[in-house]
């Protein structure tokens, strides 16, 4: 690097640090227009905005580009989400583009060996397999899909092929949050937003570790303390974490204890007669699960019946079930019984990856509704997402086996008809039967065709199921040796999934392409392509459109609309079709914008209205519903269902749950009986195993492990163990052990009293390390409604390596 | 050769931590910028990532330092990405 350029970069770094100091907080608040001005340009460097590629927080960064390469990243101070602050992953997000082993050519396995091929052959190979057997094809996607990518995949499958076997990896991380919202409010996604974190008096983290998983959000809370504000943090968890370090109270629960705790709070609110009667009478119904065949709708029960059912969840009974002392249950109930304070609940995988995931989500919403801690800034039950567009793409575009865009479902004839109308398809084009959810999809793919395994071709985009699926030996590794099963994987790096792939497609990533994400607080965020992808790597959205067009050329009827036109046809102003299926012409137009504007039509149907694409170009994201004002401007919504902010609440109403499943504007307060976990420790497998994440690595580590700073900071997975358990087993710090369950095993070094401190009888292993696949051990038992597996609790044993059987 | 813009947060006003500031001045790779309240801007321009890590650790351990945040990090053609053995199966 020459001296002039070095000097330039140093001045840019000093400007960025200096501006944060000038604000004298770690979250400086500045006017939007100033944000880019203090990042020096010159030397050929340009800056442009993009949301971070990692978690669902939705931080914005400024990306510095010079000579076609990302050379700098700065926190974006104009972004309301992060106000200039980024976590350690965010600061290194530019480095994820430049790992040395980027995939740069399509690779086809021929005679067992991966061989470079041309894109034409790759697209033709895929199209031919689909053409020959469209109903045994499955598309497995992701909450990392951009909104246009997910929308294109959704239209390709459900509109083009009439095949509903499309599901995302978000099934593994937040499906129970979706079913919890649907069961409670009749419509998905949080009512509140991140402003709740700035205004709450009490923050309760339910099996959640935002200090590591959503650090910028957690900083918004801890920063308030540095400004002299009082915010009480109550951490309910199965192990001590960095969040615990900042908490005022730590309530250590047994696995599944959250269900009992929420029932206990509701019991005391009722018993002490200090629930919010006015809110409940005006805005809520009571609901319970049907005894014989429970459904997501449940059955209406009276308040008296609710009282009767919840009567047995006394603090003492809850202590027995959850391990949390009865006095602490009373403390929580007293807080919820105090209407003068504001309480926000946060949760993520701990509550969602749960065989009672739908139940516990509904119960925590119920605690807030029963106590009236809802709908005022700071009073909110809020689930977080782990992927950048789990909300925008999966939940809103509906890339799930049962869903259609805009909150529609395939099982509803009216919804199918609406969708066929928007897509200009012949009536009956969309299949009425939901496709396979993730676990079922992979079961069918890894089961021999002769034994009923009716998925024979699988296309995986933007995710890594070979590492992240539970019970890998059954759901992924069994694919090996099945000659007629064909796995196509689009990714940016070789992964645990590409190891078994028959065809690997090199993908463009993040700012190598246009994109739109939707974050955890209903915020839709747009960015433009800034640099070219390496080699022959190409956009995932282009791949989908190119395959669709190849099928169109082959005469596949589904790829034509009612007028005989290609279903992804894009025309220029002269009415001529732009050949976007040819990569050389893909950027002749903004395909994202075309797809987004088509998708936008769906968003008004569940009051998740989006603004035109160009509004997102100007903004650092807008929270839906976004509605047009009389002066032509577009206004976002921070607090749904609250009359003071939500434009769809009937005038004069304080609250209106306008998508109520009971069609009466009311939310549902659910009762669910506590049920024990699906697998419990026993003599043979005496420990509880919980899996999760770490600050430095994002999910399966395929990107963050290519950034040397992050890789060096956290180079390998490990086993967290309680010191007493380790001593009893004669295991010392750093020794290698075998963790084993009934499904598989994994070798790991032991870290005692490290970052997390599990109680006796429990162990924790992060899943980011593809050289140590802990998901060989995890359980594929799943919630009956959300179909989300339970990664957080299964029975395991730990043996010193020397003592373990070979 | 990483260049980072960092923000140090002290337990109290920056001027009350003269010993720590003196220690920062003794590190040739550190350039000290503006201070306000308990926060101080610095830039670290180090020869390699190992040295960068050493400086980072040293700063965090200075008496009175309660937090060290990154404001900007520069990537460039010298950027080292992890030298991992790829699991790509080309054989």
State yes or no: A541 annotated in a binding site: no
In which band, very low, low, confident or very high, does the pLDDT at A741 lie, cut at 50, 70 and 90? very high
Q: Which residues of A touch B42 (CB under 8 A)?
A: 17
Chain-chain contact of B75 with A706 (C-beta, under 8 angstroms): no
Q: What percent of chain A has pLDDT over 70?
A: 96
Give the A window 387-426 contacts with B, CB below 8 Å: none
Would you say residue A610 has pLDDT above 70?
Answer: yes
CA distance, residue A65 to nearest chain B CA (Å)? 10
In which band, very low, low, confident or very high, does the pLDDT at A35 lie, cut at 50, 70 and 90? very low
Would you say residue B75 has pLDDT above 60?
Answer: no
CA distance, residue A726 to nearest chain B CA (Å)? 30
Q: Which residues of B touch A71 (CB under 8 A)?
A: 74-76
Q: What's the fold here for domain A687-803?
A: Barwin-like endoglucanases (2.40.40)
Give the A window 689-718 contacts with B, CB below 8 Å: 705-709, 711-712
Report yes or no on B84 lying in a domain: no
Phi, psi values for residue A114, rounded to 5°: -80, 130
Least confident of A103-117, A211-225, A311-325, A507-521: A211-225
Cα atoms found within 13 Å of the Cα of residue A373, Cβ hemisphere only: 36
Would you say residue A559 has pLDDT above 90?
Answer: yes
CA distance, residue B57 to nearest chain A CA (Å)? 12
Chain-chain contact of A20 with B39 (C-beta, under 8 angstroms): yes
Q: What is the pLDDT of residue B9?
A: 81
Highest mean pLDDT (candidates A73-87, A405-419, B53-67):
A405-419
Q: Which of B11, B33, B37, B72 to mutate to test the interface with A (most CBs of A within 10 A)?
A: B72
CA distance, residue B71 to nearest chain A CA (Å)? 5
CA distance, residue B34 to nearest chain A CA (Å)? 6
Chain-chain contact of B5 with A75 (C-beta, under 8 angstroms): no
Domain A107-169+390-506+540-585 has what CATH class? Answer: alpha beta
Question: Comparing A438 with A3, which gets the higher pLDDT?
Answer: A438
Closest CA to A182 of A430, A388, A434, A403: A403
State yes or no: A349 annotated in a binding site: yes
How does DSSP assign A235-296, residue by residue? EEESSB-HHHHH-SEEEE--TTHHHHHHHHHHHHHHHTT-S-HHHHHHHEEEEE--SSS--S
Verify cis geometry, omega within 30 degrees of 0, for the bond prior to A99: no
Question: Comparing A159 with A707, which gets the higher pLDDT?
Answer: A159
Could you report the per-residue pLDDT of A455-470, keeping only the tens digit for each?
Answer: 999 999 999 999 999 9
Q: Is B50 on the interface with A (CB under 8 A)?
A: no
Q: Which of B38, B48, B70, B85 to mutate to test the interface with A (most CBs of A within 10 A)?
A: B70
Could you report the per-residue pLDDT of A14-32, keeping only the tens digit for each?
Answer: 876 776 676 543 433 222 2
State yes or no: A348 annotated in a binding site: no
Sketch the domain layout of chain A as residue ranges: 3-95, 107-169+390-506+540-585, 174-386, 687-803
Chain-chain contact of B36 with A86 (C-beta, under 8 angstroms): no
Question: How far lies A55's CA from each of A51, A209, A517, A638, in Å?
Answer: 10, 13, 11, 20
Could you report the per-residue pLDDT of A177-226, keeping only the tens digit for each?
Answer: 999 999 999 999 999 999 999 999 999 999 999 988 998 999 889 888 87
A139 - beta bridge partners? Answer: A166, A459
Query: Could you tell me the residue range of the domain that residue B51 belongs to?
Result: 2-75
Q: What would the mean pLDDT of A242-268 be, rounded to a whole number?
A: 95
Least confident of A48-62, A156-170, A713-727, B62-76: B62-76
Q: How far is CA A540 from the centre of its chain?
A: 19
Query: Which residues of A participate in catalysis according to the annotation?
Result: 89, 173-174, 349, 386-387
Chain-chain contact of B72 with A13 (C-beta, under 8 angstroms): yes
Q: Is B83 on the interface with A (CB under 8 A)?
A: yes
Chain-chain contact of A707 with B3 (C-beta, under 8 angstroms): no
* Secondary structure, 3-state, A315-353: HHHHHHHHCCCHHHHHHHHHHHHCCCCCEEEEECHHHHC
Contact between residue A408 and residue A419 where contact means Cβ atoms under 8 Å apart? yes
Chain-chain contact of B75 with A98 (C-beta, under 8 angstroms): yes
Could you report the per-residue pLDDT of A364-382, keeping only the tens digit for each?
Answer: 999 999 999 999 999 999 9
Q: What is the pLDDT of residue A734?
A: 85
What is the token pair recorded at A628? 């047009």
In which band, very low, low, confident or very high, does the pLDDT at A443 lie, cut at 50, 70 and 90? very high
Would you say residue A119 has pLDDT above 50?
Answer: yes
Q: What is the pLDDT of residue A784?
A: 96
Q: Which residues of A touch B33 (CB under 8 A)?
A: 14, 17-18, 21
Could you report the per-residue pLDDT of A615-643, keeping only the tens digit for each?
Answer: 999 999 999 999 999 999 999 999 999 99
**What dotted CATH number matches A174-386?**
3.40.228.10
Instruction: Write down the mean pLDDT value for chain A.
Output: 93
Q: Which 3 state secondary structure label does DSSP give A666?
A: coil
Nearest CA in chain B to A496: B87
CB-nearest partner of A21 from B7, B45, B75:
B7
Q: What would the mean pLDDT of A349-367 be, rounded to a whole number?
A: 97
State yes or no: A59 annotated in a binding site: yes
Q: Cα–Cα distance between A99 and A705 in angstroms, integer?
A: 9
Q: Which residues of A touch B40 (CB under 8 A)?
A: 21
Q: What single-letter DSSP state applies at residue B15?
A: G
Contact between residue A470 and residue A504 where contact means Cβ atoms under 8 Å apart? no
Report yes or no on B36 lying in a domain: yes
Would you say residue A722 has pLDDT above 80?
Answer: yes
Q: What would the mean pLDDT of A349-364 be, rounded to a whole number?
A: 97
CATH of the domain at B45: 3.30.70.920
State yes or no: A4 annotated in a binding site: no
Cβ neighbours of residue A615 under 8 Å, at least 6 residues apart?
A622, A626, A634
Number of domains comprising chain B: 1
Place of tokens 């610095």: B42
Nearest CA in chain A to B32: A14
Q: Which of A16, A39, A85, A225 to mutate to test the interface with B (most CBs of B within 10 A)?
A: A16
CA distance, residue A790 to nearest chain B CA (Å)? 28
In which band, very low, low, confident or very high, does the pLDDT at A804 lie, cut at 50, 70 and 90? low
Could you report the per-residue pLDDT of A462-516, keeping only the tens digit for each?
Answer: 999 999 999 999 999 999 999 999 999 999 999 999 999 999 999 999 999 999 9
Report yes or no on B13 lying in a domain: yes
Give the A window 80-109 contacts with B, CB below 8 Å: 84-86, 88, 91-92, 94-95, 98-101, 103, 107
Closest CA to A787 of A457, A439, A550: A439
Phi, psi values for residue A674, rounded to 5°: -65, 135
From the options 3.20.20.70, 3.30.750.24, 2.20.25.90, 2.60.260.20, give the CATH code of A3-95: 2.20.25.90
Report yes or no on B24 lying in a domain: yes
Could you report the per-residue pLDDT of B29-46, keeping only the tens digit for each?
Answer: 999 998 988 889 999 988
Cβ neighbours of residue A78 under 8 Å, at least 6 residues apart?
A30, A31, A32, A33, A34, A35, A36, A49, A60, A620
CB-nearest partner of A16 from B5, B38, B87:
B5
Q: How many CB pairs under 8 A join A and B?
A: 151
Provide Rg for chain A, Cα atoms. 26
Least confident of A289-298, A326-335, A349-358: A289-298
Report yes or no on B81 lying in a domain: no
In which band, very low, low, confident or very high, does the pLDDT at A346 lie, cut at 50, 70 and 90? very high
Phi, psi values for residue A250, rounded to 5°: -120, 120
């Amino acid at each position: 690097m020459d001296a002039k350029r070095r000097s330039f970069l140093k001045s840019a770094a000093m400007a960025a640090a200096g501006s944060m100091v000038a604000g004298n907080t770690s979250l400086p608040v500045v006017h939007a227009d100033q944000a880019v001005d203090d990042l020096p340009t010159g030397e050929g460097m340009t800056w442009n905005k993009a949301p971070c590629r990692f978690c669902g927080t939705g931080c914005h960064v400024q990306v510095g580009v010079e000579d076609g390469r990302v050379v700098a990243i700065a926190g974006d101070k104009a972004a309301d989400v992060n106000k200039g602050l980024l976590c350690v992953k965010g600061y290194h997000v530019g480095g994820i583009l430049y790992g040395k082993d980027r995939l740069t050519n399509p690779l086809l396995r021929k005679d067992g060996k991966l061989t470079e091929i041309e894109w034409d052959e790759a697209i033709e190979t895929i199209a031919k397999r689909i053409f020959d057997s469209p109903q045994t094809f499955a598309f497995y996607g992701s909450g990392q899909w951009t909104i246009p990518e997910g929308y294109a995949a959704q239209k390709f499958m459900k509109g083009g092929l009439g095949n509903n076997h499309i599901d995302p990896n978000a099934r593994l991380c937040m499906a129970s949050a979706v079913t919890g919202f649907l069961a409670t409010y009749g419509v998905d996604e949080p009512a509140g937003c991140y402003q709740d974190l700035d205004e709450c008096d009490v923050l309760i983290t339910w099996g959640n570790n935002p200090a590591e998983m959503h650090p910028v959000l957690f900083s918004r809370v801890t920063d308030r303390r540095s400004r002299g504000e009082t915010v009480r943090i109550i951490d309910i968890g199965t192990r001590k974490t960095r969040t615990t370090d900042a908490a005022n109270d730590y309530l250590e629960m047994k696995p599944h204890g959250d269900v009992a705790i929420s029932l206990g709070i509701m019991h005391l609110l009722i018993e002490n007669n200090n629930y919010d009667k006015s809110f409940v009478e005006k805005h809520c119904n009571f609901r319970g699960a049907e005894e014989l065949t429970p459904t997501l709708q449940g059955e209406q029960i009276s308040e008296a019946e609710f009282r009767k059912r919840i009567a047995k969840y006394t603090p003492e009974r809850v202590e027995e079930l959850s391990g949390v002392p009865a006095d602490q249950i009373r403390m929580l109930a007293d807080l919820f019984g105090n209407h003068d304070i504001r309480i926000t609940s946060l949760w993520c995988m701990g509550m969602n990856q749960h065989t009672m995931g739908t139940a516990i989500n509904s119960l925590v919403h119920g605690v807030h509704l029963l106590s009236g801690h809802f709908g005022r800034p700071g009073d909110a039950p809020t689930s977080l997402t782990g992927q950048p567009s789990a909300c925008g793409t999966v939940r809103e575009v509906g890339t799930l086996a049962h869903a259609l865009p805009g909150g529609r479902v395939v099982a509803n004839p009216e919804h199918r008809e609406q969708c066929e109308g928007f897509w200009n398809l012949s009536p009956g084009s969309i299949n009425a039967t939901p496709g396979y959810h993730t676990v079922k999809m992979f079961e069918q793919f890894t089961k021999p065709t002769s034994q009923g395994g009716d998925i024979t071709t699988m296309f995986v985009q933007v995710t890594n199921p070979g590492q992240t699926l539970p019970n890998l030996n059954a759901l992924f590794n069994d694919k090996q040796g099945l000659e007629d099963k064909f796995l196509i994987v689009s990714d940016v790096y070789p992964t645990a999934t590409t190891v078994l792939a028959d065809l690997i497609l090199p993908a463009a990533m993040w700012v190598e392409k246009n994109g739109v994400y939707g974050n955890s607080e209903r915020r839709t965020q747009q960015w433009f392509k800034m640099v070219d992808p390496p080699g022959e790597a190409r956009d995932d959205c282009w791949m989908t459109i190119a395959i669709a067009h190849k099928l169109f050329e082959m005469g596949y009827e589904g790829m034509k609309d009612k007028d005989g036109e290609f279903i992804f046809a894009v025309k220029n102003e002269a009415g001529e079709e732009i050949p976007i299926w040819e990569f050389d012409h893909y950027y002749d137009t903004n395909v994202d914008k075309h797809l987004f504007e088509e998708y936008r039509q769906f968003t008004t149907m569940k009051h998740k209205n989006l603004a035109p694409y160009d509004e997102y170009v100007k903004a650092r994201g807008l929270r839906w519903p976004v509605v047009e004002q009389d002066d032509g401007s577009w206004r976002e919504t921070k607090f749904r269902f609250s009359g003071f902010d939500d434009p769809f609440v009937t005038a004069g109403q304080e609250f209106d749950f306008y998508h109520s499943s009971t069609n009466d504007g009311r939310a549902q307060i659910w009762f669910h009986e506590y049920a024990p976990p699906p697998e419990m420790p026993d003599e043979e497998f005496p420990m509880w195993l919980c899996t999760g994440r770490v600050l430095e690595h994002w999910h399966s580590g395929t990107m963050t492990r290519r950034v040397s700073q992050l890789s060096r900071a956290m180079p390998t997975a490990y086993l967290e163990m309680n010191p007493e358990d380790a001593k009893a087993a004669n295991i010392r710090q750093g020794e290698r052990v075998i963790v084993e369950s009934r499904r598989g095993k994994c070798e790991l070094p032991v870290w005692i009293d490290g970052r997390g401190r599990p109680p006796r009888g429990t162990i924790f292993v992060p899943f980011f390390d593809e050289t140590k696949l802990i998901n060989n051990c995890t359980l594929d038992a799943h919630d009956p409604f959300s179909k989300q597996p339970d990664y957080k609790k299964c029975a395991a044993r730990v043996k010193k390596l020397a003592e373990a059987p070979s | 050769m990483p260049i980072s813009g960092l923000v140090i947060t002290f337990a109290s006003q920056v001027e009350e931590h003269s010993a720590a500031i003196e220690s920062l001045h003794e590190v040739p790779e550190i350039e000290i910028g503006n201070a306000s309240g308990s926060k101080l801007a610095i830039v670290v321009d180090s020869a390699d990532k190992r040295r960068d890590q050493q400086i980072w650790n040293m700063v965090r351990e200075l008496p009175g330092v309660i937090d060290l945040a990154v404001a900007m990090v520069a990537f460039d053609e010298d950027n080292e990405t992890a030298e991992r053995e790829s699991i790509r199966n080309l054989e």
